[in-house]
Chains A and B, each alone.
Chain A
Amino acid sequence: MTERLDLIFVLIQQWLVGFLPGAWRPAAGVVLSVVAIVCLFPALFALTTVFERKGLARIQNRIGPNRVGPLGILQPIADGIKSLTKEDIVPLSADAVVHFLAPVLLVVAVFMGFAVLPMGRNMALVDMDAGLLFFFAIGASTELSVFMAGWSSRNKYSLLGAMRAVAQMISYEVPLLLSSVAVVMITGSLSLTKIVAAQNQYTWGLPHWYIFTPWGLAGFLMYAIAATAETNRSPFDLPEGESELVAGYHTEYSGFKFALFFLGEYLAMFSISGLGTTLFLGGWSAPLQILGWVPSWIWFFSKLMLSIFVFIWLRGTLPRLRQDQLMNFAWKFVLPLTLLNLMVAAAWRFLGDGWERWVICSAVVVIAYTGMAWAGMRHGHFGPRSYRYAE
């Protein structure tokens, strides 16, 4: 019974496909999975918006949405209807084609990223040999859509926001990639299913998740920072800083296109959290061996929602950074530490199974972090600094 529950989506898919003639079955299976993803994540998006608004309200000592439906649960439906029925304004001087393509490209690219995420046992849409590379390749193309949106609007706030966003995304993509490479080095594979399988082992009932190793913990911290910046979430939400740039690159978007951007950003958050879960938090594996009977997809989505909660929490807690602080942080703090983490991971790989690797790797990581933080504070890299205006 538990196995059936575990594989319930796979079984449903097979059952549905069974009605079709044999030649069509593989294609139909893929179409079904795509449809499932395309339906599921927007639903999750709707749920998350209300969750975020409620959560932020709690943090800010407010009530939050409470008019539509019980406790405001139906608020996203109202929002959706509103944005669908609003007038779609395209500025007169805007480049109409590019203006239209930008949100579409964003949403398509983000959806493609979900194709390689294993959301449960045997629940990856495509088990690609170079899955991680695919994910990052697709992720890189979202930068282009951001630029397209900002440039086509013919609005200086949009363009500035877009340039900030692109610069930020490029800068933080490097540590994002490098911290993932550590996992690849240990696992020896770019396939996300294999990465999860490598973590789905237990010693004394405890899982072998990578976050429970020195390099994994350090890598996860760096990954989390880079992911926050990559998705333009607070405290790295400069591209959309409403107090400075109105709303960044989607200032000139309204109605359904704006909703698409909104959707795209949340989907990017989901996919990057899903990847983090897969790389460091053991993917769909249970946190304790005795909990192995719980269906794997429940674990995946619980971890995903936990990450989303952390995102919301950060947004409610931390103030926004300044542009120069943001860039300095990326290149002078996060990047060196991820590079060091690669070496620590290599040391971990070659030090054998004994206790020495725990001691050595932990010591290196702890010393590096405290040392960098100390040096940074001392030389004022993160401290106050006079602002240099963009030239």
Chain B
Amino acid sequence: MMQETISFTPQLAASPITGLLWLIPAVPMVASGVIALLKQPRRKISATLAIGSLSFSLLLSLVAFGHVLAGWAHGAAVRETVNFTWIQAGTSHVDLGWVLDPLSAVMLVMVTLVGLLIFIYSVGYMEHDENFTRFFCFMSLFAGAMLGVVIANSLLLLFIGWELVGLTSYLLIGFWYQKPAAAAAAKKAFLTTRIGDIFFLLGIVWLFSQTGTLLFYNDGAGTLEAAALAGLLAQPAALGLTAAGAIGLLIFCGAAGKSGQLPLHVWLPDAMEGPTPVSALIHAATMVAAGVYLIARVYPLMQAGALAGGTTTALTVVTWVGASTAVFAALIAVAQNDIKRILAYSTISQLGYMMAGLGMGGVAVGMFHLITHAFFKALLFLGAGSVIHGCHGEQDVRKMGGLRADMPLTFLTYAIGMLALCGFPIFFSGFWSKDGILEAAQHWSVAKTPFYLLVFGALLTAFYMTRQVGYVFFGFWRGGKPAHESPAVMTLPLVILALFAMGLGLIGTPAWPWFRAFLESRTVGFDWHGFAEPGLLALMGTSTLVVFLGLGLGWKLYGGQSPKPEEPDVLEQTAPLPWGWLRDRLYVDELYGVTVIAFYWWWARVADWLDRRVWGGAVAGVAWAFRGWAHFNRLLDTNWVDGGFDKGCEELASSGGLLSRVQTGRVQTYLRILALAVAALAAILIWSSRA
């Protein structure tokens, strides 16, 4: 017998802040619900609600972060969970819960902080949009869902948040649904990520069938804890994989879909059809990073069975996919002209770096790049938004130019973001986080190719960013109406993000690997000898060299010159053929067009034919048979049955005439009959009970 109950009794005595952790996603969600009920003209209230709720979440996240920090300072690895049973069906039950540990604490602070800044920025950016309240409704919903993903202690809760995040992404990409391109992009994003999600769901179901729980941590009974992992390792799957490895790969498919890894990256560039703050928040800083976060979250599962210093099949796949995505996307970015599209490919590329970092260096390496990237990529997108805003909606870099004079603040912050992304040495966070990944790649035991791929990617990154900045901010103005600087509500978040883009590198230098120690709950001290590790300085030198090479190459080709929009690109003049390939995004979309979509087209034709010919024919045959039977019946009816019925109906009509005399339409007649009937009934009852 099915028995469904919802009991909300936490199983563990957790600290007060962990008990209240659910408020962090809940408050923006509630705000979203309230905003959904508001009318469109209520701009101020909706923006206030969204920003206020997220500020509250930020505050709580900071408290949670402080709690974890305090625990760490006392030498304890903080991992507090609150679990509860969601569905109880017979003896088996599905549990949900949330967890507070260094990983989720860091992500909470990042998501709420970046989110808050982007919300504030949106007030300025979306100022003239008629669907202002709808925008903030979706954004708040997104923030809530994303925070839900972050605090989830259950693969199921994570998946719920994951799908909600996908939904809001769909809604926001198609925010200007009047534009056909936006509507198509939204559908594309939704369907493409769904492919990954199906595999992810398969992995979840498999995991549940193997371990009977979806909780990550549950006092030794969670899926990420030793007992369950040992069980998974003992279970062989196909192709020489263990169950743990196979599930890990399935989960990685979901992550690849969401994080735009090869070959499911095609939706992300098109997603730039959405408003720019959306691109910044969802498609650069947070949602696409959710895939990386997912891998980091289930890292024990991915790593299960690895020997000391070794790696697993799952992690190897992650590494290869990440490294090739990094180079692949960076190559395409070189030949793009849309300011946001360049950034989108750059995001894909950087996500590849993170994946590779996770695969080769562990959670800390990947996560560090995730955090720094979130800040500088949000900065770049918001800067791009500011540029677009200032250029009256123009997105083509060839039609800009010389903006450093018109938009000084935007230029300054954009330059900081760009240098951070390129990995300009010492002062910018990107340098340190990318360096961590390169170092891990250098020491990887399986192969050296990823290292070379990533170094090449770094060179390309520096090159295409220089190209973009050269086009946009240097040279002379090639557009129509002169550009103007954006209002303070937009530039202020830029400045704050720029500060973070520079300063965040300090917490992850080899001399003071604070971030890594925090995630792994080790003690840390400041030590110059961190730089003295063999090969490290050489590596840093290499990467610096590569960056300068990229910057210099870019500056040489694009700096200060301002080709007309109609003129072919400098590179196109030298090598038109590969340039064409790159401009057309290496034909991945077309490949899908001739393979997947063509197959579906063909299959739809087949199904259509089947429907028309086979099933339709069968149905038509049956219909014919029934029609024949019906004709036969009609003959019978008209000759035999009707006569009898007519006779009966005449009888009924005459008796109905008798009865209709009672139906006078007078209420009191009815009442009278009713009363008589009651009296008679009472008499019968009493009489019968007497006997």
User: A and B touching (C-beta < 8 Å)?
Assistant: no
